[in-house]
Amino acid sequence: SQQGEEDPQALSIQEGENATMNCSYKTSINNLQWYRQNSGRGLVHLILIRSNEREKHSGRLRVTLDTSKKSSSLLITASRAADTASYFCATDYAGANSKLTFGKGITLSVRP
Amino acid sequence: DTEVTQTPKHLVMGMTNKKSLKCEQHMGHRAMYWYKQKAKKPPELMFVYSYEKLSINESVPSRFSPECPNSSLLNLHLHALQPEDSALYLCASSRLAGTYEQYFGPGTRLTVT
């Protein structure tokens, strides 16, 4: 399977702490994206990082990409209870013809 | 307007029913997608439309029939579904098919009885 794998599968932290989530993938990619999903709702796009980029920031989010290790990390700084959600990495594989392949997801719980 | 809307929010249907899910976007996006998501699983791609033409069908059973009447609308026609088809059905759109962020609707929660 070309599906990305997030790590850990579940993460529980205290409000104000940083949350780090990792994603590994198997083959060459055009880009990697992170999405958030609140329970039973649609996905919200967080950030897209292209294969020739190493780091991107958006507000409290920092994403890194290491194509040599085929891995990415998502850092959420100063977490809030509202960050409680499932987080998915999604890869656009080279040659995948318009398809995004989602990882299994990470469940983040931020305790107030 | 950066919103993708989906109707209905919830749908309960019997195995002999015919129903349709509707998705709409007014962002001028030329790619639209249907995904199926089971509880605690990632979304699974079903169909991709690019410029109103079906470009990807992920070997979806024929009891699911997509339709793209125009660049803003996407329908999913349902017929003779099975209980295992119960899931959250998500619609998404992107500027073009390929390497672009996708905007998702809130989904339709489908229960097949």
The pLDDT confidence band at residue B2, using thresholds 50, 70 and 90, is low
Q: How far is A77 from chain B (nearest CA, A)?
A: 23
Contact between B43 and A3 (Cβ < 8 Å):
no
Looking at residue B55, its pLDDT comes to 93
Residues A33, A99: contact at Cβ < 8 Å?
no
3-class DSSP state for residue A83?
A: helix
List the one residue out of B89, B94, B93 whose CA is nearest residue B106: B89
Question: Which chain A residues have a beta carbon less than 8 Å from that of B109?
Answer: 40
Residue in A closest to B47 by C-alpha: A99
Nearest CA in chain B to A34: B101
Contacts of B55 in chain A (CB under 8 A): 97-98
* A52 min Cα distance to partner chain B (Å): 13
Tens digits of per-residue pLDDT, A56-81?
999 999 999 999 999 999 999 999 99
Grade residue A99 by pLDDT with cuts at 50, 70 and 90.
Answer: confident
Any idea which residue has 């098919």 for tokens?
Answer: B97
| pLDDT > 70 in chain A, percent | 93
Could you say which residues from 1 to 20 on chain B have a Cβ atom under 8 Å away from some Cβ of chain A? Answer: 4, 6
Size of interface A-B (CB pairs under 8 A): 59
Of A40, A50, A100, the CB nearest to B102: A100
In the predicted model, what is the mean pLDDT of residues A27-43? 92
Provide the pLDDT for residue A3. Answer: 63
